[in-house]
Chains A and B, each alone.
Chain A
C-alpha cells in the first residue's frame, strides 16, 4: 500500500512524525534514537572487548633510544610489515621501483577504483576481476606480513644466539674474526695517527671496538682498495661518511693502515 492511499494522510490534525505503513513494511527506522541504540549495542560490546584486551595486555617500553647502537635490528609496526617485506625483494636500483613506483601505482588504483571498476554491478561475483584482485591483494599482504615477522624473529633469535657483544652484527660487509693477538701492526704508518685521532673514539684505541665494531684482523679479510669505499660511504646515521674526514688522501692512508692489521 502506498502512502497516498493511507486514509490517515487526509487528516489535517495528524501528528507530523508518525510511522506510515511504508515504515512498517520495509523496516526503515529513524537514525536517532531507534537505529543508534541498536548500533550502540554492537559499539558497547566492541568497547568492552577492547578494554578487556587493553587490561590484559600491558604495553612495555624498551630501552631508551641509542643512535649509536648499530646492532639493534629495526622492525616497523606490524601494519607496515608487508611493505617492509615487499621492499626486500627489490635489491639495488630496484628499490626505487619497490619503494616508489609500486606503492604509487597501488595508491592510484585504490583512489580511482570507482572509475576503473565502473560497471553498475555491485555483487562481488558479477565483477570477478575486481573481486579476484582484492582477494589476491589480501592473501599477498597476509603472506608478506607473516614472512616479515618470521624473518625478523629468526634475525633476532640469530643475533641473540650468535654473539654476546654488540659488534657481532656490525653491518660490516666483511666477516671479522676475533683474533687472539691484540697487538697493533705497522704503527709507523701515517694512517695509524689518523685512526687514533679520528676513528678510535668508536672503534677503540687498540681496534677492540666499542660503539663501532671491532676491527682487529680486518687486514685478513679486506684489502685497502676494498676498505676505502666502505670507510668513505660510512654507515649513516651511526658512522658519518669517511668517519667525518673528507680529505681523500687521509682516507687512503687509514685504509692502507687498516689493511695491514693482520692479527691472527
Chain B
C-alpha cells in the first residue's frame, strides 16, 4: 500500500532522484565519528543545525502564547512560565538554546578555521557562514528584549545607544531599531517582527545556500 502510493506519486513527480541524491552521496571516513572518535569536531555544523531546528520548534510553540505589546508581553511570558503545561520547559529550551546556538556556531566556525576548510573552492560558503553567524547574533539581540523585564529593557537601551555611535548613519540606525526617541511600544513590536519574520526568512535562505554549497564543493579533504 505504501509502496503503491509512493510509486503513484513518483510516476507523476519523479521524486526518487531528489532523495537518492541526498541519500547516496558518499561521506568520507575522516569526518565519520564511528571511524575515528576525534572526528566529532566535524559534527559541530550538524549539531548547530539540530539546535536551530529545536529553536524554531520551541519558538513556534512560544508564539502561541506570547503577546508582543508592552502591556501584555511581560505577563504573557509570566503566564507561559507559570501556567502553561510544560511552558517553563519550552521557554527554557528557547532561552538556553539561544546560548547553545551561539556556542555551537562559534565552535563550528573555529573547526572550519583551524582545518583551513574555507580555502578554495569553498570561499563563498565561508562568507555565507559568517553572514549566518551575524544573523544568529541578531536573533539573540532581538529576542533578548521580548520578555520585557528590566534586564531586557535596559540591555536594549544600551544596545541602541551603542548603535547610535556609528558615524553619520548612527541616529538613523537607532531610529530604525527603536522606532522613536526611547525604547518603548514600537521597539517591542519591531523586535518581535524582526525576530519571528525577518530573521527566520534570512536564516532559512542562507542555510539553504550553505547546505547546497557544501554538497556542490564537497567536504574538505583530510588534514
With a cutoff of 8 Å between Cβ atoms, the chain B residues found around residue A10 in the complex are none
Residues A63 and B149 in contact in the complex (CB < 8 Å), given A38-B34, A87-B162, A114-B118: yes
B97 CB within 8 Å of chain A: yes
A115 to B26, Cβ gap below 8 A?
A: no
CA distance A181 to B161 in the complex (A): 38
With a cutoff of 8 Å between Cβ atoms, the chain A residues found around residue B89 in the complex are 54-55
CA distance A74 to B160 in the complex (A): 12
A237 CB within 8 Å of chain B: yes
With a cutoff of 8 Å between Cβ atoms, the chain B residues found around residue A27 in the complex are 28-29, 32, 35
With a cutoff of 8 Å between Cβ atoms, the chain A residues found around residue B52 in the complex are none
B99 to A78, Cβ gap below 8 A?
A: yes
Which of A54, A61, A131 lies in contact with B78, CB distance below 8 A?
A: A61
A134 CB within 8 Å of chain B: yes
With a cutoff of 8 Å between Cβ atoms, the chain A residues found around residue B16 in the complex are none
CA distance A240 to B180 in the complex (A): 13
Of the listed residues B22, B102, B114, B137, the one surrounded by the most CB atoms of chain A closer than 10 A to its CB is: B114
Per-position 1/0 for A95-114, Cβ under 8 A of B? 11011100000010011011
A5 CB within 8 Å of chain B: no
List residues of A (31-75) whose CB comes within 8 Å of B's CBs: 31-35, 38-39, 41-43, 46-47, 50-51, 53-55, 57-59, 61-67, 69, 72-75
A43 to B46, Cβ gap below 8 A?
A: yes
With a cutoff of 8 Å between Cβ atoms, the chain A residues found around residue B115 in the complex are 122, 124
List residues of B (153-185) whose CB comes within 8 Å of A's CBs: 153-155, 157-159, 162, 165-167, 170, 181-184
A237 to B157, Cβ gap below 8 A?
A: yes
Q: With contacts defined as CB atoms under 8 Å apart, how many contacts are there between chain A and chain B in the complex?
A: 203
With CB as the reference atom, state the residue of chain B lying closest to A73. Answer: B154
With a cutoff of 8 Å between Cβ atoms, the chain A residues found around residue B153 in the complex are 65-67, 72
List residues of A (107-134) whose CB comes within 8 Å of B's CBs: 107, 110-111, 113-115, 117-118, 120-124, 127, 130-131, 134
Which of B100, B130, B157, B170 lies in contact with A110, CB distance below 8 A?
A: B130
With CB as the reference atom, state the residue of chain B lying closest to A32. Answer: B23
List residues of A (3-27) whose CB comes within 8 Å of B's CBs: 17, 23, 26-27
Stretch at the interface among B6-14, B119-127, B200-208: B119-127
With a cutoff of 8 Å between Cβ atoms, the chain B residues found around residue A59 in the complex are 81, 88, 91-92, 95-96
A149 to chain B, nearest CB (A): 14
A79 to B32, Cβ gap below 8 A?
A: no
Which of A47, A79, A122 lies in contact with B137, CB distance below 8 A?
A: A79
Can you list 15 residue pairs at the A/B interface with Cβ under 8 Å?
Answer: A28-B28, A29-B27, A30-B25, A39-B46, A42-B43, A43-B47, A50-B100, A61-B78, A62-B151, A72-B153, A74-B151, A76-B158, A95-B165, A236-B182, A240-B181
B150 to A58, Cβ gap below 8 A?
A: no
Which of A29, A42, A74, A134 lies in contact with B157, CB distance below 8 A?
A: A74
With CB as the reference atom, state the residue of chain B lying closest to A37. Answer: B34
Which of B22, B26, B88, B165 lies in contact with A99, CB distance below 8 A?
A: B165
CA distance A115 to B97 in the complex (A): 33
B43 to A72, Cβ gap below 8 A?
A: no
Main secondary structure of the interface of A (DSSP, over half): helix
B150 to A50, Cβ gap below 8 A?
A: no
A124 to B155, Cβ gap below 8 A?
A: no
The 3 closest A-B pairs by CB, nearest first: A27-B29, A122-B116, A74-B154
With a cutoff of 8 Å between Cβ atoms, the chain B residues found around residue A32 in the complex are 22-24
A28 to B116, Cβ gap below 8 A?
A: no
Per-position 1/0 for B77-98, Cβ under 8 A of A? 1100100000011011101111
A74 to chain B, nearest CB (A): 3
A80 CB within 8 Å of chain B: yes
CA distance A203 to B119 in the complex (A): 62
With CB as the reference atom, state the residue of chain B lying closest to A28. Answer: B26
CA distance A100 to B93 in the complex (A): 33
With CB as the reference atom, state the residue of chain B lying closest to A35. Answer: B27
B22 to A115, Cβ gap below 8 A?
A: no
Which of A34, A46, A54 lies in contact with B96, CB distance below 8 A?
A: A54
A65 to B152, Cβ gap below 8 A?
A: yes
With a cutoff of 8 Å between Cβ atoms, the chain A residues found around residue B99 in the complex are 77-79
A244 to chain B, nearest CB (A): 12
A47 to B27, Cβ gap below 8 A?
A: no
Of the listed residues A27, A87, A96, A107, the one surrounded by the most CB atoms of chain B closer than 10 A to its CB is: A27
With CB as the reference atom, state the residue of chain B lying closest to A43. Answer: B50
A66 to B150, Cβ gap below 8 A?
A: yes
With a cutoff of 8 Å between Cβ atoms, the chain A residues found around residue B64 in the complex are none
CA distance A57 to B91 in the complex (A): 11
